[in-house]
Every structure is written in structure tokens, then in C-alpha cells.
Structure 1
Amino acid sequence: MEKAETSKRVGIWIRVSTEDQVRGESPETHERRARAYAESRDWTVVEVYRLDAVSGKTVKDHPEAKRMLEDARKGHITGLIFSKLARLARNTKELLDFADHFRTAGADLVSLGEAIDTSTPAGRLFYTMVAAMATWEREEIAARVAASVPVRAQMGKPLGGAASFGYEWKDGQLVVNDKEAPVRKLVYELFIEHRRRKTVARILNERGYRTRNGSAWSDTTVERLLRDPTAKGTRRANYTQTKSSNGAWELKPEDEWVLVPVEPIVSEETWATANSILDERRVRGTRQTKPVTHLFAGVAACECGHKMYVPSNSPKYTCAKCRNKIPVKDLEAIFKEELRAFVFSPEEIFDHVQAGNEQLNSFESLISSMEAEHKKLTGEADKLIELYQANLLDKGGFGQRYEKLRARLEQVGEELPKLQAKRDVLKIALASQEEVLSGSKDLVERWDTLEHPDRRHVVEAILDRVVIGNGEVEFNFLYNPGFASSSNSQSHRG
């Protein structure tokens, strides 16, 4: 069964240009349609962001856009509804930035025109595609920059960033800084003597030495300087890169490094001695730890209502309150069997999708009919006004006939957005269901070959929780296609 979303707080984004308003696309129409969609999902509209008569060329610096992004960051809104992607931003880079911002904030984007709702499985593909596009864009820029780095490094040119402590850039060359070099040398001497980074930092601070920015010395600063080969006369360049997954730094392959000789502060022997001590202490301090994330961590619950976890000294999910237990391997085996109930034949998938499409076509016909009526009523009202202005219709006759047209126009204006919202909900649901149904069979067949992180991802995507009782296990799935139970149970004795 789908998880209730009554607590979801959403904003509505409305950007209608002057040209759009000339064509009759009023901001009020877009807002009514978005509100109807939110109401159909039991979501609460808490904010409306309006950018009237604003071009989509760039909107990120608009006050309303900044307010919207800040609300998403703070969690004030957990979703944003808009009529089309082009209404959010026509600038591709800004669209990628918006999507990345919402993904980071754990918030959803809902585009009614493109049937994208990132709170659904199919909609989450949008985030995946956006991330891929953003990565490609960053890599293109990075590749152009990286191409010039080795050449500049080999020429000894600065590549950006500050010089290592003990050195300074002068006339484009890295040279020894007479004030900092003695302190850099002292760092090595103290470490070789005391063999502890914290002790070195404490002694430097007690003697009144400070880092370049005036901060106190720390053990991490000490190790960073000890590891840096610049002090022994070898400056490294082009040796790090940014991980695309999390933005952290990592070393490049050594054959890509550029090593440039500079004036040393300490001898190679002194540098090697200090680093061998660091290596020795690191090996001694390394501890082997077991992965702490189990497949059903966070979703396994006891029938008494308490969460169940796997203690470090046990191979079983355990309830801390009533001591109810189930072996880790048994629970995964039962889950695998339950997945089979999540698999549907191609015929079932086809029948379900076809039934949904027939219902969707019915909605489309009703909407087209109502839009045609709205256009006809508007034309009749305009003609009526022309007749009155030409004195071909008296005031009494005009008022009676115009009031009927106005009342029906208002009624259509209220009903049309609601009908469109129902169509939007169905369209998005069908896209999501088709993906889940089609992918479920492949999921079961590949289950035994999946790595643990991939299995965990599957559990998070389709399982709300698993309840372990006395002799039975009940899996509550997040998704119910309409013709299969979403809350299956299978007994387990042991």
C-alpha cells in the first residue's frame, strides 16, 4: 500500500511570461491546477512562488527563486509543483541546479506537463538523469581545465591555491619563505623526537608559533605538513582530482603526477624518517570493523512496536524490549520469497497498463471537450459585449444573457483544473507503475547476484517496513498495483 503523504508540505511555482498571458494562460489557472493536484495527493500547499511576466532565460537570482530554494533547504517545503519544466527554468544549467538543490534537500519536484513526480519510482529516474547531465557538464569543464594543468606544472607555474607552509610564490616561482621555513623544519625535528603529532602541536603552540592564518597548530596540520614532499625539495602538481560522487579529493595515478624540483627545507633522510614513523603508527592503529548497515536496518520492527536491530555479538535481528528475535539469513530468505509475489506476468502488466491508458484517454476527451466549451463561451461573451457596445442590444437583454455565460464560464474555470489534476495524477501513477511492474521480474531473477548496497537500495525503494511477530513475518510494501496484495505475510517458525 502506498505510504500516506498527508504530512507533505509543498510549494507552487508559477511563472507566466507576458506572451503566455496574451495567449490566455493566466497565473490563476496554473495555480488552480497545481492546487488540485496537491489536493488529490493529500498534500498541503504552504507557499506559492509567483514570477509574473518574468522571462525564463534566467530566474535563479529572482527573489522568489531564492526564497523557494531557501524554503527547500530548511525543510519548510518538501516538494514543488509547477506546470512544465520550461516554467521552472528554460536555462538548462539553472534547471540542473534546481534539481540538484532539491535532491540534496530530500525534496521532490512535480512537473505536471511532463508527468514527472520525483516522489514516485519513475519520477526518481528524472533525478538520475539530471545528475548524469550535471556530471557530464562538470566533467567537460574539468577536462578543459585539466588539459592545461600538466603543461603549466612542468613549467613551474602556479596552478592556484596557496604555497605550502615554508614557501611562497615570488615572480611565478615557488621559493623558500625565510620566516616560515625554520618552523617547518622544527615540525620534523619535534616529531622524530617525540613521535606524536599532538605533542608536536602542543609544543609549537606553547612556544608561540602559529599557522599562516594565525590559528593554533593541530595534529592534522602537523601530519599534512609532514606528508608533503615539498619540504624535501619535490613539489607535486596534478596529483589530485575531485570525486564526482561526493566532491572529496582523491589521488590520481602516479604516472599523471608532475614532480618539480624546489629548494628543500629538510633532507630526504629526515623526511623519510618522519614518514616511516607515521606509516608505522597508522598500521598499528588500523582496526577491522564490520559493516553496521544490515539489509533491514531501520525497517524491521517487532510486533510490540519497537525497532529491531542486529547487535554486534549476534546474527539475529533483536527487539530490545521483548527480546523477540529472527536470524538475519532467515529474514532475507523470506523476503526473497515475498519478492516473487511482487512479480507479475507480461500479460498482467499489459492488461493493467492498457486499462490505465483507457481511463487516461477518457480524461483527455473530457478535458478537450471542456476546453472547447470554454473557448466557445468566451467567443460568445465577446460577441455579446460587441453587440451591446454597438447599441444593438439593450441593457436588460445584455445583462440577462451575459450573466448566464459568465456563470457557466466560471463553472468551467473551476472544473477544468480539477479534471486536469486527476489526469495528471493518473498519468504520473501509470508511468511509475509501469516501471515497477516491468522491473520486478528482473529484480527477483538477479537478487542473488546483487551486491549488498544494491539489495539495500531495493529494500529502501519498495519496502515500508517488516513486522516480526510470534511465528510470522509481515512485509508492508510501499507500492500496490491494484490487483495484488501490498501487505503479504509468510510464517516463519524457529
Structure 2
Amino acid sequence: MEEKKSVGIWIRVSTEDQARGDSPEHHEERARMYCKLNGWDVVTVYHLEAVSGKSVIDQPEALRMMKDVKEGRIQALVFSKLARLARNTRELLSFADYFNEHKADLVSLQEKIDTGTPAGRLFYTIIAAMAQWEREEIASRVAASVPVRAKLGKPLGGVAPFGYTWGDDPSKKQLSIDENEAPIRKLMYEIFSRTKRKKATAKQLNELGYRTRKGERFSDTTIDRLLKDPIAKGIRRANYTKSRGDNKTWDLKPTSEWVLTECPSIVSEELWEECNAILEQQYKKRNKPGRQAKFLLSGIMQCTCHAKMYVYHGVDTYHCRKCKNKISVRDIDYVFEVQLKNFLFTDLEIDVYQKQTEMTINEKANLLNAAQVEIEDLTVRTTELLNMRLKKEISQEDFVRFYEPDNTRLKGLQRHTAELQGEIDALTVHLASSQTVLSDAKDLYNRWSDLEFSEKRTIVETITDEIIVGSDDIHIKLAYLPKHTFFDDNVKRQRNLRGSYWQQA
């Protein structure tokens, strides 16, 4: 059984919006209906009512939400529109980057964005492009000054490397030896040249009572980084890396852009070269090319007993060692290709699906408009009754007799409009997603026979959730099948057809 997606709902409604009757309850009900129609489990709601959208990223609820995303407590965040998530463009880009980094989805009901769908994933592409443009704009202004400062031996930001110091005033000082740290860094090279092991080097330094600048124990990763840095032999590198945009991973720039300057050395050039020659040799041994997938569906095939199925001893057949179930590689490859074709339906069926969905959206939109007109009338009537009571123009008994039925009806309609809006949101998102999927899949199938094996393998890994082989049937689940009920009915029919096909085969 497929595990339900755990989601959170983000509620931020300004004071002005609440004064106009745009209540947090309405936004929450609308989002809950969207989640219900998708079969998602709402595990928490983040309340930021009356919080300004100018900056929300440091708000307690925003920090709680980001913590939940990082820890995997929620896999998606649902909100009424992008402006409700954040009005600050930079913060919106930061949220999008953060969610993309942690494989979580953003769902904006107003803009019909659900990044868990193929159409919605375009949002991440656009956001990433905008973020990259902003980073490049900032970087271009900073980059011009970096080579000049580096050639002058000035700091480029951040602390000095371990074993060195900028002094009390980094803007005016040159890089100099830190008398307390430099002996530790020198000892590190000496231990490594003897043990030829990073873990052994870290262990000995720790046992001797030495710690990093932050007071932490040395690790093999820290040893590796410090050993490779040529600053220890008197050559300071600057302007030699470029961030990939996540501030965690970096790429080397072309050597023509590097700025190399002399600085005080901690170890001799001979000792540095000796240690780095050992590291290079170890790296080559550890990074020999691994075995490449030989079969299209390797690692994806699964038996009904939940055991993985593999091809053993060069025989082109997938086997389950647990229950002896098996299927030939040629047969399952063909069935998978047929599944791609079946996934497309006929052009007539696609047209019927899209028209039926559009018709359903229009019907619900008409219901929503009618309900909103009635809400406006009831709001006027209840407000008038309330004013009459405040002015004592109507008795308490008559007020209750007229007001209560209208107010009950008003609350019911408000809940109903939220549910209708949620249904419209879900249908619209799924329609857009299915159109993208069907278009891409059709092009994929038409080109399938011309693709290289490596390209096919990449596609299979991307679009396939699971392939389960039984004794007399086979179940193939693609990762991006639309979830609309009408679509699901067709999928069930296809699975029945596949079962019949397999029995014949």
C-alpha cells in the first residue's frame, strides 16, 4: 500500500484581508479539501495570521515549518497563493530552493502550482533560473574586487585557514602564522606521512588532546581538506572556486582565473608534495569505475513477495531467490514498452478526459459563483440585523429568530465555498499536469526505439515507481500518473488489459 504524503498547511492572512471577510478558516478549509482529494494526510497547520509578508522567513512558525521539511515530517506545503507564502521575492526564492533541496513540494492553489506534478516542476526550473540570475548579479559585482584583494594578500571574507591569522584588524593585516595552531597543522602532515591514513591521523591528534578551532575533534574529512590546501607550503589560492548555488558544494574555476600569492609556510614543499601524492594514489584506487547497469530494469524489478529480482550468472532472466519466481529480460522489456504506449490511451480518450475534466471544473465554478452571491446577500442581512439590535430597533427574541438561521446558513456556505474551491484547485492542477505528462510521454514513446541504452535507463529510473511481478500478472506503476478519478478508471482498465496480455504471453 502506498504511503500517504504528509503535508502542512500555511495560513497567512493580513489584517486587512480578515476585515474584508477573507478568514483564515476559509483558507484552511480550502487547503484541506485539496489535500483530501489528493489522498494526503494533513499533519500540521502553520498559523501566521496578521504577520506582515515583508519578511516571514525568521518567524517562529516559518522556522518550525523549515525544520519539519528538513526532518521529513512534511513532504509538501499547501498555501492559498504565492503572496501568502512570502511577498519578499528573495525569501520566496529561498523557500523554493530549500524545498527543492529537501525533495519537498510547494502547492500554491491560486497559481495552480503543485511541484509534485510534471507541470508544477516547471516552477522550480523558473525559480532556480531567477535565483541563479540574482546570485550572478551579486557575484559579478563582487568578483571584480576579488583578484585585486587576493593579489594584495588581503582577506576575501571568512576566517583565516587553520594555522594562520589575519590579526586583530583583518582589513589592514596580511596573512601571518598562528603560533598556537601552526605546530598542530605541521604535526598533522608528519603523522600522515608516517601512517598514510587520514582516520589514523585524526585519531592520533585527538588522543594528544588537539582540537579544531571550534573545539571539535578532528575528522578524516577535516584532515583531507587541510592536507590538500597548498597554503601550508606557502602558496595561498584565491578566487579558485565557484559555488553551485547551495553554499555547500563548489566547483573549481579554470586555473587561468586562480590568484596565487606567496605566504608564510608551515611545512616544507617536499613534505606537502609527499602527503598529497599519497592522497592522489588513494583517490585513484577508491574511484575505479563501478559496474554499470546491464539491463534496462535492473534494481527496479520486485517480486510479489517483496524481494528484489535480479539477473544471475549471465542468464537473461530476472529471478526471485525467495520464491523462485522468474521472468525473461526480453519479455519484461517488451511489456514495459507496451505500458508506455498504453499509458497514452487513444487521442479520442485523451480528448474525452480533458473535456470531462473541464466540464466538471465549469460546473463547480458555477456552483461557487452562486454560493458567493448568496454569501454576499446573507452577509448584508446579518449585518443589518446586528446593527438593528445594537440600536435596539429589534427585540432580542426577534433578533435571535431571524439572525440565527441566516448566520448558520452563512457559515455553512462559507465552508462549502472553501470545499468547492479546493476541488476546483485539484482538478485544474491535475488537468494541467496530465496534459504535460501525456504530451511528454507521447514524444517519449515515439523516440523510444532510437534512444541509447543509457538514455533509456535514465528515463526508466526517473518515471518508474515500481514493477511487481506475480506468477500470472505484472504491475507497472509510473511515477507521474495523474490522480483524477476518471483517469484512474482508465488506468485500472489498462492494468486489466495488461493482466490479460500477460496470461496470453
Indicate the TM-score class for this superposition, using the shorter chain for normalisation. 0.7 to 0.9
Aligned pairs (5 A) from 1:196-275:
224-244=225-245, 247-264=248-265, 268-269=269-270, 271-275=272-276
Answer yes or no: is the 8 Å Cα contact 2:298–2:310 preserved in 1: yes
Answer yes or no: is the 8 Å Cα contact 1:477–1:486 preserved in 2: no
1:13 correspondence with 2:10? yes
SS at the partner of 1:16? coil
Match in the other structure for 1:94 = 91
1:364 correspondence with 2:365? yes
Match in the other structure for 1:36 = 33
Q: After alignment, is 219-228 or 97-106 more displaced? A: 219-228
TM-score, normalised on structure 1?
0.83
Q: Mark the CA change 1:357 to 1:457 in structure 2 (over 3 Å): closer, same or farther.
A: farther
Query: C-alpha separation between the residues in 2 aligned to 1:221 and 1:48?
Result: 40
Shift of 1:254: 0.9
CA deviation vs aligned residue, 1:237-292 (integer Å, no higher than 9, x gap): 11122234783233221111111123445555554455445444544555332147
Identity %, equivalent residues: 47
SS at the partner of 1:33? helix
Query: C-alpha separation between the residues in 1 aligned to 2:396 and 2:229?
Result: 91
Answer yes or no: is the 8 Å Cα contact 2:11–2:46 preserved in 1: yes
Shift of 1:159: 1.9
Answer yes or no: is the 8 Å Cα contact 2:342–2:494 preserved in 1: no
1:342 correspondence with 2:353? no
Structure 2 residue ranges without an equivalent (≥5) = none
Aligned partner (choices 14, 24, 33) of residue 21 of structure 2:
24
Across the two proteins, how many residue pairs are aligned to each other? 491
Answer yes or no: is the 8 Å Cα contact 1:349–1:438 preserved in 2: no
Query: C-alpha separation between the residues in 1 aligned to 2:401 and 2:388?
Result: 14
Aligned partner (choices 41, 63, 71) of residue 74 of structure 1:
71
Match in the other structure for 2:50 = 53
Query: C-alpha separation between the residues in 1 aligned to 2:209 and 2:65?
Result: 48
Could you tell me which amino acid in structure 2 is paired with residue 77 of structure 1? I
Answer yes or no: is the 8 Å Cα contact 2:26–2:415 preserved in 1: no
Q: Mark the CA change 1:349 to 1:275 in structure 2 (over 3 Å): closer, same or farther.
A: same
Shift of 1:145: 2.7
SS at the partner of 2:35? helix
SS at the partner of 2:77? strand
Shift of 1:338: 2.0
Match in the other structure for 1:172 = 173
1:111 correspondence with 2:135? no
Query: C-alpha separation between the residues in 2 aligned to 1:115 and 1:191?
Result: 57
Q: Mark the CA change 1:422 to 1:208 in structure 2 (over 3 Å): closer, same or farther.
A: closer
Could you tell me which amino acid in structure 2 is paired with residue 300 of structure 1? M
Query: C-alpha separation between the residues in 1 aligned to 2:61 and 2:91?
Result: 14
Shift of 1:327: 4.9
Q: After alignment, is 142-151 or 427-436 more displaced? A: 142-151
Aligned pairs (5 A) from 1:276-355:
276-283=277-284, 286-291=287-292, 296=297, 299-310=300-311, 316-328=317-329, 330-344=331-345, 348-355=349-356
Match in the other structure for 2:151 = 154
Match in the other structure for 2:446 = 445
Answer yes or no: is the 8 Å Cα contact 1:363–1:423 preserved in 2: yes
Could you tell me which amino acid in structure 1 is paired with residue 89 of structure 2? T
Query: C-alpha separation between the residues in 2 aligned to 1:198 and 1:50?
Result: 47
Structure 1 residue ranges without an equivalent (≥5) = none
- If asked which structure has higher relative contact order (CA below 8 Å, sep 6+), I would say 1
Q: Mark the CA change 1:59 to 1:449 in structure 2 (over 3 Å): closer, same or farther.
A: farther
Shift of 1:218: 6.2
Q: Mark the CA change 1:350 to 1:146 in structure 2 (over 3 Å): closer, same or farther.
A: farther
SS at the partner of 2:371? helix
Aligned pairs (5 A) from 1:382-461:
382-385=383-386, 399-448=400-449, 455=456, 458-459=459-460
Q: Mark the CA change 1:191 to 1:325 in structure 2 (over 3 Å): closer, same or farther.
A: same
